[in-house]
Chain A
Amino acid sequence: MPVAFGIAQRQLDQRTSVISCEGELDLSSAPQLKWMLLDSIEAGHTQVVVDLSLCTFMDSTALGVLIVVKRSLAAGAQMAIVTEHASVLKIFELSGMDGMFAIFPTLADALARPAQNDVAEAS
């Protein structure tokens, strides 16, 4: 059965945008996330934060979207994930992508130290 999914974008400053997802990120909702992320990057945002705090579930398709977008980032641009949800974290861990993304428990943490984390985590 379809589960409600919501997605919203807000621009904090000229280089930072936050994309918030609510509900379940799966095959049906992942494309929305993808296009919103790509739009944000095209708009010139160099720091993109994906807030998955309200996401109860994320599947491999959504993970694939994050991977694709992360790879399309220009040099110097950063991407951060915000989540505390165990199932979402498990997906990152299982896929080995927890080392590829900068994952923060809260949005405040992500905005507080995006740069260092990206440098530290991504390789």
Chain B
Amino acid sequence: MPRDTSERPSALRPARRLATTACVAVSCFGLLALIPAASARPNHVSRTSPAPAVEPAPAAAPPAELAPASPSPASGQSAGPAAPSQTPPRPTPKHAQRGGANQTPAVGGSSRTGASGGASQTAAGEDPSQTTTSGDPAQPPAHRDRSQRAHARASAPTKPAASVESSPASAEQQSAVLQESTAQADAGRQRGRGHHKETAGEGKHSRESGKRGKEKSKQPAPPSAAPEEPTLETAVPAVAAAAPVTIASIEATPPAQAPVQDAAQVSVAGVSAQALDSPARAAGHGASHARAARVPRRTHRALPAASEPALAFATSAAHRSRASASKDARGAHDGGSRGGSSPLVRTITTIVDVVPTPVRLLIAGLLALALALAARSYLAALRARSLERQRAQLLEDVGLLQAALLPSPPARLGPVGTSVAYRPAEGPGAGGDFYDVFALEDGQLAVIVGDVSGHGRHALPHTALLRFTLRAYLEAGLSPRDAVQTAGAVLERQLGGLFATVVLATYNPRERILVYSCAGHPPPVVIGAGPGPAAIAPLTVCASPPIGVGVRTGTRQTVVSVPGRSQICFYTDGVTESRVGTELFGVERLVDTLIELGADASAPAILDSVVRHADARPDDMAACLLRIEGGDDAPSVLSEELELDGEEIASERAERLLLACGVERSELAEVIRSARAAAGRNGTVVLELHRTDGAPHVTLRRDRLAYLHARRASVEAAV
């Protein structure tokens, strides 16, 4: 997992990267600490009695501790340089541990090693005479080497012994056993004792104290019972734990006499058990070794003094591998080097070794926490990236959606300059406006501007429905009025209670004719650049109602001639209903704005001007501006169309429009009579009022939406 985290630090944010780096660092350290601990723990935990397990000394397990699995070969290898003849293969520590006293051959070696170990230990210490012991011809080279390591082992408890705390009873009990075995060992190993009289005396001392301890504890360790003794069993794993501390202590401080004695005592105890156990006088290497390592923790208080020879007994084959580590650390003493371990590793090992178990557990816990946090951080980073992608996608979608309702047309469509603009409302009325400007296949230009009631997101589907439906009708070749009327008839049901105001327009560049039809929507402002009236005055009487109010719409259409340079501005009521003080912005101000902007006029500029002037904008604003090039000829209305059915003809509507268009009252009755007759035949009639050149001319024609009338008839029949 740490690797995972470190593999992609660049993808993480700086803070997260820092945290991850810290996590990785902690993880590395924790792993270093954990590996030895993990290898040592199984033995340590399962076999050691609870009380000692808490002790700091056993907790420290060096890389050599891995050796319970790789024992003798390692020791032999490391012993190589020190002694010409390598140590013969030894039973594995595990074996030794289990074998205990049964491992007779090993026992012999062990005891011998213990003796020489004691000698070499002294040599390392203060007694110069020990050198002779090391060089004792009677001792095989391998043994000598072993003894050196044994010495290291024996001195191991120096440091831990100081900090060890165990129950006196158990310590004494242990020491009693040790004393017992020491006596035997001493008997067999005259050489060691003879060479180190001083330590031998101390060993006696310790033996005596061991006996005292035995008496106190009242729990003798009979030779036969020794193998089964729990201490033996539990002691074995403890060895592994004890060894590292030895290394550390050796490196840290020169062996002091008193601690050494303690250690010696321990060793004695360890070996003695086996000595009692086995006729060969020496316990199995593993067993004795194990005891040697374990005992110090328990007995150091009870046994203040230890004999030098006793140190030798502490040595075992299993320990040799570990001892080699310590020997390595004390390179001068051993004169040998350990293959495959760099100073860095040794340093780290040394550091790690002195870490007590609680701290290791803490580190392990922190490591787990760090890993968890790193994993969490990594997942969070992944999720953040995913969310970022989703957000970008969403924004893109929203952009596409908005573009669907408010497209961006090209700046020019043929000879006509086009621009569109949209400004959402400040208040709650946002949404609902839509526009479209596009070129038709026949070269005409089409404009759609509308406003759906029921603002906001809820109006969006209906807004889209309207825009594309109206566009389709215009693309199909319907005139603006026919398109509005068809949409009014078809979409009423689909608008779901909403209604919409729209203005549809087509512009024919060749004929310079603008045709537009409104449904409840304000007509476009058309202003010319030349002299004369600034803007045409469209007739608003008899305007068509919005789409969706349940009334027939698309009944009105206006045709405007645009011979010269002109601006045609379509807009939604948000523009003219903006407030300027207590007044509306109004159409007049819009016209003024267009004139003011002149050649610079564009839809965005218009809306910007409205925003500047208005005090309040309660509704969305949309604008679409067509700029038509040409001379100074002013635009003018060519004709107004009004479609009426029989009932409408009878009402005041037709009359009002005719009067507004300038039809004389005297002609009014005749026109209405003719229209009624035409409507009687076809259902509806279209009145075209041509306003050019003086008196208006009225023509009646049949509308082109027969299919709509048929549809309406069938719907009514069905209902």
Which residues of A are at the interface with B, using a C-beta cutoff of 8 A?
Answer: 1, 3, 26-28, 57, 59-61, 64, 67-68, 71, 90, 93-100, 120-121, 123
Contact = CB atoms under 8 A, between A and B. Distances in A.
A27 B616 CA distance: 12
B633 interface: no
Interface of B: 427, 429, 451, 453, 497, 499, 501, 518-522, 540-546, 549-551, 553, 556, 573, 577, 579, 581-582, 584, 615-616, 618-619, 647-648, 651, 653
17 contacts: A1-B582, A1-B615, A60-B573, A60-B619, A64-B499, A93-B540, A95-B520, A95-B521, A96-B518, A96-B519, A96-B520, A96-B543, A96-B545, A97-B546, A99-B545, A99-B648, A120-B651
The majority secondary structure among interface residues of chain B is: loop
B659 to A, nearest CB: 14
B497 to A, nearest CB: 8
A59 B616 CA distance: 14
Q: Which of A59, A60, A61 gathers the greatest number of chain B CB atoms within 10 Å?
A: A60
Given A94-B520, A100-B549, 4 more contacts: A93-B540, A95-B501, A95-B520, A123-B647
Top 5 nearest A-B pairs by Cβ distance?
A96-B543, A96-B545, A95-B520, A27-B618, A96-B544
B540 A67 contact: no
Contacts of B541: 93
B577 A60 contact: yes
A28 B618 contact: yes
A93 to B, nearest CB: 5
Contact of B582 (A3, A59, A61, A67): A3
A97 B540 contact: no
Contacts of A98: 543
B651 A99 contact: yes
B549 A71 contact: yes
B545 A95 contact: yes
B305 to A, nearest CB: 102
Contacts of B653: 99
Contacts, number: 76
A100 B543 CA distance: 11
Q: Which of A59, A67, A99, A121 gathers the greatest number of chain B CB atoms within 10 Å?
A: A99
Q: Which of A1, A90, A95 gathers the greatest number of chain B CB atoms within 10 Å?
A: A95
Given A27-B619, A97-B520, A71 B582 contact: no
Contacts of A26: 577, 618
A70 B427 CA distance: 26
Contacts of B546: 67, 95-97
Given A27-B427, A59-B573, A64 B540 contact: no
A100 B522 contact: no
The majority secondary structure among interface residues of chain A is: helix
Given A27-B427, A96-B520, A99-B551, A60 B540 contact: no
A71 B521 CA distance: 19
A123 B520 contact: no
B543 A95 contact: yes
A67 B453 CA distance: 11
Contacts of A96: 518-520, 542-546, 553, 556
A97 B453 CA distance: 15
Contacts of A90: 540
Nearest to B543: A96
A61 B577 CA distance: 10
A50 to B, nearest CB: 16
B429 A94 contact: no
A99 B542 contact: yes
B72 to A, nearest CB: 96
Q: Which of B427, B499, B521, B546 gathers the greatest number of chain A CB atoms within 10 Å?
A: B546
B657 to A, nearest CB: 11
A94 to B, nearest CB: 5
Contact of B551 (A60, A93, A94, A100): A100
B581 A71 contact: no
Contact of A61 (B520, B619, B648): B619
A64 B542 CA distance: 18
Contacts of B542: 96, 99
Nearest to B552: A123
A73 B62 CA distance: 94
Nearest to B522: A94
A1 B453 contact: no
B554 to A, nearest CB: 10
A97 B499 contact: no
A28 B618 CA distance: 9
B656 to A, nearest CB: 9
Q: Which of B520, B553, B653 gathers the greatest number of chain A CB atoms within 10 Å?
A: B520
Nearest to B579: A1
A27 B619 CA distance: 8
Nearest to A92: B543
A67 B550 CA distance: 9
A1 B581 contact: yes
A62 to B, nearest CB: 11
A100 B499 contact: no
B545 A100 contact: yes
Contacts of A1: 579, 581-582, 615-616
Q: Which of B542, B543, B616, B619 gathers the greatest number of chain A CB atoms within 10 Å?
A: B543
Nearest to B548: A67
Q: Which of B519, B573, B581 gathers the greatest number of chain A CB atoms within 10 Å?
A: B573
Nearest to A94: B540
A24 to B, nearest CB: 8
A93 B543 contact: yes
Contact of B543 (A61, A71, A94, A123): A94
Nearest to B577: A59
Contacts of A123: 551, 647-648
A100 B546 CA distance: 11
Nearest to B556: A96
Contacts of B615: 1
A123 B577 CA distance: 29
B459 to A, nearest CB: 12
Contacts of B577: 26, 59-60
Contacts of B545: 95-97, 99-100
A38 to B, nearest CB: 14
Contact of A71 (B550, B579, B618): B550
Contacts of A97: 520, 545-546, 549
Nearest to A65: B453
Contacts of B651: 99, 120-121
B644 to A, nearest CB: 11
Contact of B584 (A27, A57, A67, A93): A57
Contacts of A68: 497
Contacts of A95: 501, 520-521, 543, 545-546
Contacts of B550: 71
Contact of B501 (A60, A71, A93): A60
